[in-house]
Amino acid sequence: MAAIDDQAATSWQVMGRGPRKALAIHCSLAHSGAWAGVARALDAHLTVTAFDLPGHGGSAPWAGTGEIQAASTAMAAALLDGPADILGHSFGATVALRLAVEHPRLVRSLCLHEPVFFAVALADRPEMRAAHVAEMADYRAGIAAGDMARAARGFLKVWGDGEGWEALPEATRARIAAQMPLIEAAAPALYEDAGGMLASGALGRIGAPVLLMQGARSPAIIDAINAGLAARLPLCRRATIAGAGHMAPITRPQAVAAEIAGFLGLRTGSGTPRDHSLERR
């Protein structure tokens, strides 16, 4: 489906048949279908609306002006008419946090896998900056040279699903390379806190319960981000997905869905609610 507002076309799909409304926000370079595996696993519990971020899937191309996290947050808010469980992955998880800050009445809970809010980790653990710069060096060199294929290869080496650049079909490589400007467009929000969530202390005012997930095999900076977020969020639980990396909602959807089900107090296959206690701060 697609809707037109005064800014851009938004494409979305609805998955599931459950009584609870949920909104799912995918990672950079993906599309709304990235949540299909998780949505199937929670089909009886959630009706999931998943939309394509600017420049992704069937949504309108990113115009290259303004602030892409803000635009993405506005798209998310426009799809909601009341409180929902918000599912977010990577950049999409940072959009979910901003939605909770700017539109708290629309957020019943946040279930986030690896929000890439690097400003949090670098504020709390500045000694991690050098290692992070080093792991992103190939991406940065490609951007500096205007070689988007090199940038994409370097980006996926850190944040991909482990499949490898050369294993991807040529058309997929071309699409991902063309989307590298979207990664750059997100940098002010992720590294410089363009949305003001960190500097303003707004994270500490989020009243919704938050689940922070991460893969056991993800980059070290992810653990620092989630630790920093957990220290600021009033009501938070952390979870680690065994054997998974950054792309767990796609590569380990059943495991991610099980964590979400437990957090939301939904019944699992055994018919028994899982523990969904939270840390209170």
How is domain 2-125+190-280 classified at the architecture level of CATH? 3-Layer(aba) Sandwich (3.40)
Residues 193/98, Cβ–Cβ less than 8 Å:
no
Residues 52/31, Cβ–Cβ less than 8 Å:
yes
Q: How much of the chain exceeds pLDDT 90, in percent?
A: 87
Q: Could you give the angle at the alpha carbon of 186 between the alpha carbons of 100 and 245, nearest 5°?
A: 80
Residue 277 CA to residue 281 CA, distance in Å, equals 13
Q: Could you give the angle at the alpha carbon of 154 between the alpha carbons of 150 and 158, nearest 5°?
A: 165
Residues 41/106, Cβ–Cβ less than 8 Å:
no
Domain ranges of the chain: 2-125+190-280
Rg (CA), the chain: 18
Q: Is 205 helix (H, G, I), strand (E, B) or coil?
A: helix
CA 242 to chain centroid, in Å, comes to: 19
pLDDT in tens, 39-70: 999 999 999 999 999 999 999 999 888 899 99
> pTM of the full predicted structure?
0.92
**CA nearest to 266, candidates 37, 38, 89:** 38
Residue the block writes with tokens 């040279």: 145
The pLDDT score that the predictor gives to residue 253 is 97
Residue the block writes with tokens 């370079």: 29
Residue 201 burial (C-beta neighbours within 10 Å; 0-12, 13-18, 19+): exposed
pLDDT in tens, 131-165: 999 999 999 999 999 999 999 999 999 998 777 78
pLDDT in tens, 57-108: 999 999 888 899 999 999 999 999 999 999 999 999 999 999 999 999 999 9
Higher pLDDT, 243 or 269: 243
- The answer to whether residue 170 scores a pLDDT higher than 70 is yes
Residue 75 CA to residue 59 CA, distance in Å, equals 10
Provide the 8-state DSSP code for 201.
T
The pLDDT score that the predictor gives to residue 259 is 98
H or E element, residue 124: helix 118-124
Confidence of residue 167 (pLDDT cuts 50, 70, 90): confident
The pLDDT score that the predictor gives to residue 150 is 96
pLDDT in tens, 220-233: 999 999 999 999 99
